[in-house]
Chains A and B, each alone.
Chain A
Amino acid sequence: MDLGFTTAVYVVAAILFILSLGGLSGQESAKRAVWYGIFGMGLAVLATVIGPGAGLWQLTAVLVAIGGLIGYQLASKVEMTQMPELVAGMHALVGLAAVFVGFNAHFELANVLTMDDTAKKALDGFAALLAKKSGAEINILRVEASLGIWIGAVTFTGSVIAYGKLSGKVTSAATKLPGGHLLNATAAISSVACLVWYLTSGALLPLVILTILALFIGYHLIMGIGGADMPVVVSMLNSYSGWAAAAIGFSLGNDLLIVVGALVGSSGAILSYIMCKAMNRSFVSVILGGFGGTAGPQMEVEGEQIAIDADGVAAALDDAESIVIIPGYGMAVAQAQQNVAELTRRLRAKGKTVRFAIHPVAGRLPGHMNVLLAEAKVPYDIVLEMDEINDDFPSTDVAIVIGSNDIVNPAAQDDPNSPIAGMPVLECWKAKQVFVSKRGQGTGYSGIENPLFFKENTRMFYGDAKASLDQLLTLISSS
């Protein structure tokens, strides 16, 4: 096959990828969209393997088959609650692949540069492409390759740490080495210095140092970001893996890589932006880690938390006409989504209006709650976004908060000194009655006291979310 054909296939693949992302605008079209993506990927890989420049297709096939098998196993076994970890972990793979491919570009370049003209003519594939490059083009190539390596390395360690934090293997609190941002800045400046060194010498050493610096930045950057900001981090890493692919695409002169890398990169960036807007935080302050300084002391919370048992909740649910459930990360941790779904089914069977209110940053991934509820077969047309449901709370009889905290914190509106002041929140306290299913009296992920728990119309339903709901289900008959 010649280059023209491959390019044509690339165009088709690129269009399929764009359609695949665009199709995610609705639940129904999304099911079709994912097939576009799969088909596009298949086409792209096949065209590259049989196209000019590729070799050892047998090895490629075997490796893809083995990798695919592992990927298949991973993806089919994973619990939906572990989805954030899986996605974060897979970003690491892309990052690492980008680093290797970038290094390969360097090695090939170094090889080609040592050859004489006759040897160059005998080359084919990627090496042949390199051989034709002029001096300026070679420098650009080096910049591109090192950029790809740098971003790839940051993505790799960053994703590994994000994976650790999400799966609880690394502490989720924001921790920084002494020096903090200065350390990151120094590493970044040193990286630029290494790049200059590499451009002038073309040696391997500066590239290796650059990689190590990038690995460190990825590690330190993500370590410094608290668990509550993980949705932003994961989508940011997603974006990085795209940019890495795009940079590698430049150095290899492969347009499809560039197109897809740019698509992924920009989509991740927008997603991060949307998340940040949902939390009323500037993107920079999330990335640099930690909450901004508060202007004064936080409001003191007065009153007491009043506990209630399952009987009380069941009685109130029995009387209620309209019910809104607000799930949070606690539901995911307790794996309580099936129980929530069962509760919903039973209440709906009794003719009650049951709806779900999803805050944009509920959970540890954007859209985390939607996926969990979907897994438990909660119909998606009763699962509403914050803006759709916030006005309905005053006419709601019972709001049930299951394992969420900051996203229902009235301090965000009432207390200008609260660290989350100004963040849009679900105004569940406007409902006639609020039940909060919560493990104990402690504060949430961000360590902020929640005045909701002290409100007059709030009752605390203590205990593990799943156990509590089990108890509740025995009291609410299925008929």
Chain B
Amino acid sequence: MIIGAPKEIAVDEKRVAMTPDSATQLQKLGYDCLVQSGAGVDAGFSDAAYEQAGVKIAKTVEELWRASDIITKVRPPEATEVKLLTKGKLLISFFYPAQNTDQMALIAKQNADVIAMDMVPRISRAQKMDALSSMANIAGYRAVIEAGNNFGRFFTGQITAAGKVPPAKVLVVGAGVAGLAAIGTATSLGAITYAFDVRPEVAEQIESMGAEFVYLDFEEAQQDGAATGGYAAPSSPEFREKQLEKFRELAPEIDIVITTALIPGRDAPKLWLADMVAAMKPGSVVVDLAAERGGNCDLTVPNEKTITENGVTVVGYTDFPSRMAAQSSTLYATNIRHMMADLTPDKNGQTFHNMEDDVIRGATVTHGGSVTFPPPAPKVQAIAAKPKEKVPERSAEEIRADEIAAFKQATKNQVLLLTIGGALLLAVGAYAPASFMQHFIVFVLSVFVGFQVIWNVSHSLHTPLMAVTNAISSIIILGAILQIGSSSFLVTVLAAISVFFAGINIFGGFLVTRRMLAMFQKS
């Protein structure tokens, strides 16, 4: 089958869904690759580079769509493209099915299949094809770079001969993939970074990236992030009030604000209000990654950079990934390549659209002439470890009481054992002759000594212990030596054999033990 990647027709979209590298991998799966002439130019991949990777070049859009069985794209298809998506073809791209129901119905009627990269379920197995995450990662990084570009100062604090430079303070709102990427970039540039998220369980992740988590003093039943597939859910009005209050308090100190707060299927919540922007110092920057969905900031104008009256720059670009087309194309093409690998279990260049597979099922929005969105809940529930249950601190008295109880129990056990053991011993003593008892006492004491001694032997020396006890058990040789001088020939022979065997054992056992012990050494 042929996989084709057209040039994106959306204005300013520089990304491309197939790179020479990903094409090489796709060919290993048995596919032939096709790319529209000039599709990768904006991302830094020339037609020549594709040809070198064995990719054929299609001159026009129509030619590409006609020749390909599978079309990989970045942006959702536009009306002209939907027309080209004829029966039996498979489209893999971002699709946003919830907002694109009309197109979805149309495509289903044309009997073509669509796999929406934005619908890949958030389970660990599907991470390799999670294009939203790879794009969000880039967006987070780029947001900091854009902010730096518009920010007139250093990120790091420095003390130079020419004076002291204070470090920039960055606040990241929403610690999803983009937020975490932004935190990482900002901290590595040397800024003091704060981060906020409505999901308290991400505090650990935020701190691991080097930012400080902004805690709210608010009691509310914890949301379980896992229930919403790891995404945030809307918060209560009281919580929101508390949150805005905190932001208001922070606003005057913060130099750069990066907002990434999104709730699936809704407009972006307004979190950075006009009065907060007004409270910021001149020269500060707000980068709104949620601009496409209305923005987290009151003053955001989608696709534009504006400067407020008090000199705060508000960046509302919606094309951050596209601004790093080389990087985002590489990652997106790899996501697609992984998706194809899952669709091609036999690596024979033929797709097997397995609707039983959670990942494939979840991402498929039209299949076999019908709309298959929304998908059923996946069999495997996603991610997010349960919050740790706190072990209540035990008071000193309780610990003490436990110790006393344990001590009492141990005493009881020991006394019981001693009593039983003593009684048995006495019972034996009452009947057995004195000569036997003499030996018996020795025996019992030895067993006791053995128990006491062996408990202390370290785990790692158990094999040497066995070897040494094996060697020692050849003490049986004494018995044989005592009998070897017997007047009976048979006894002498048997005793001689025993001496011989025990001799092997003595030398063998001790030597092996020595060999083993000699090998243990400290570093």
Contact = CB atoms under 8 A, between A and B. Distances in A.
Interface stretch (B72-80, B212-220, B295-303, B453-461): B453-461
Contacts of A98: 476
B497 A100 contact: yes
Contact of B498 (A76, A101, A274, A360): A101
Contacts of B514: 34
A26 B458 contact: yes
A31 to B, nearest CB: 5
B11 interface: no
Contacts of A140: 432-433, 436
B502 A49 contact: no
Nearest to B515: A75
Interface stretch (A58-66, A184-192, A431-439, A464-472): A58-66
Given A101-B476, A241-B473, A262-B450, A367 B509 contact: no
A138 to B, nearest CB: 10
Contacts of B104: none
Contact of B488 (A48, A76, A101, A111): A111
Given A59-B499, A235-B462, 14 more contacts: A20-B468, A21-B468, A24-B457, A38-B510, A71-B503, A97-B497, A104-B479, A104-B498, A258-B443, A258-B446, A270-B450, A270-B454, A302-B380, A366-B466
A150 to B, nearest CB: 15
Contacts of A370: 459-463, 520
Contacts of B511: 71-72, 75-76
Interface of B: 124-125, 380, 432-433, 435-436, 439-440, 442-444, 446-447, 449-451, 453-488, 490-492, 494-523
A402 interface: no
Given A97-B501, A140-B433, A367-B464, A55 B512 contact: no
Contact of B125 (A101, A383, A456): A456
A67 B454 contact: no
A260 B432 contact: no
22 contacts: A24-B468, A25-B461, A27-B461, A30-B461, A34-B514, A67-B499, A69-B507, A71-B505, A86-B512, A97-B480, A104-B480, A126-B486, A254-B478, A257-B478, A264-B450, A264-B472, A270-B455, A271-B454, A367-B460, A367-B462, A381-B522, A382-B523
A97 B502 contact: yes
A241 B491 CA distance: 21
Contact of B457 (A25, A137, A456): A25
Interface in A240-294: 241-242, 244-246, 248-250, 252-268, 270-271, 274
A5 interface: no
Contacts of B471: 37, 41
B442 A255 contact: yes
A314 interface: no
Q: With a 10 A CB-CB cut-off, give which of B125, B449, B470, B474 has the most chain A CB atoms.
A: B470
Contact of A271 (B444, B462, B490): B462
A55 B436 contact: no
A374 B500 contact: no
Contact of B478 (A45, A70, A76): A45
Given A27-B520, A137-B435, A101 B470 contact: no
B483 A75 contact: no
A249 B475 CA distance: 10
A267 B446 contact: no
A211 B514 CA distance: 35
Contacts of A244: 476
Top 5 A-B pairs, shortest CB-CB distance = A55-B485, A67-B503, A379-B523, A266-B450, A71-B508
A64 B435 contact: no
Contacts of A127: 486-487
Interface stretch (A88-96, A175-183, A317-325, A407-415): A88-96
B488 A107 contact: yes
Nearest to B492: A56
